[in-house]
Amino acid sequence: MPGTATAEFRAAFLPGAEDPGRTVAELRSLIGNRATLSVVGNPGESEQQALDRLRGYLATPDSDHDTDVFRAWQSAVRRTHPGVRATACQFEAVTSAVPFREQNVPVYGMYPFTVNRDMLKRMHGTDEHIGVEPLRQGTETVYQLLAGLRSKH
């Protein structure tokens, strides 16, 4: 049996939710002296700098949903996926949107394919793939979104 072991995990935080520094402190309290918890940030970044950067991301307001673009996306989804209600949700690339959202430029992440629960479980795994039909549906939704935006201008 090895004398040491290493485990990595990622945590996601919702904007406006719990402070990541407090979460780290609570986890450290739970594990006590049985293990060491390290926050890993960007290369050369201290733990405090990583937590401060994350706090900045989380403090940036969400994109406004009362826009022509968001309504056009909802309309496109209604046309291509009858009975499905389009709504906002957390997107894993949220940090890429922060510089735009800081300038009040709304950013909406979307996949150019239809995602189901099974695909989400396999995402970034060894069996990640997109089927032909989900890609066709997603392509049609993007087309309908762009057509809807074009008709507005």
The secondary structure of 40-61 as a DSSP string is --STT--HHHHHHHHHHHHHSP
For residues 97 and 63, the answer to whether their CB atoms sit within 8 Å is yes
pLDDT given for residue 18 in this prediction:
78
Mean pLDDT score across all residues of the chain: 85
pTM (two decimals): 0.65
Length of the chain: 153
For residues 15 and 62, the answer to whether their CB atoms sit within 8 Å is yes
Q: What SS3 state is found at 127?
A: coil
In the 8-state DSSP scheme, what is residue 87? -
In this structure, the number of other CB atoms found within 10 A of the CB of residue 134 comes to: 17
- Mean pLDDT computed over 111-120: 82
Give percent of the chain with pLDDT exceeding 90.
34
To which H or E segment does residue 12 belong? none
To which H or E segment does residue 152 belong? helix 132-152
pLDDT one-digit tens code per residue, 94-108: 567 778 888 888 888
Cβ density class 20-45: b for 16+ within 10 Å, e for less? bbeebeeeeeeeeeeeeeebebeeee
pLDDT given for residue 92 in this prediction:
62
Is residue 145 exposed (0-12), middle (13-18) or buried (19+ Cβ within 10 Å)? Answer: buried
Q: How confident is the model at residue 90 (pLDDT cuts 50, 70, 90)?
A: low
Q: What SS3 state is found at 15?
A: coil
**pLDDT of 146 over the 90 cut:** yes
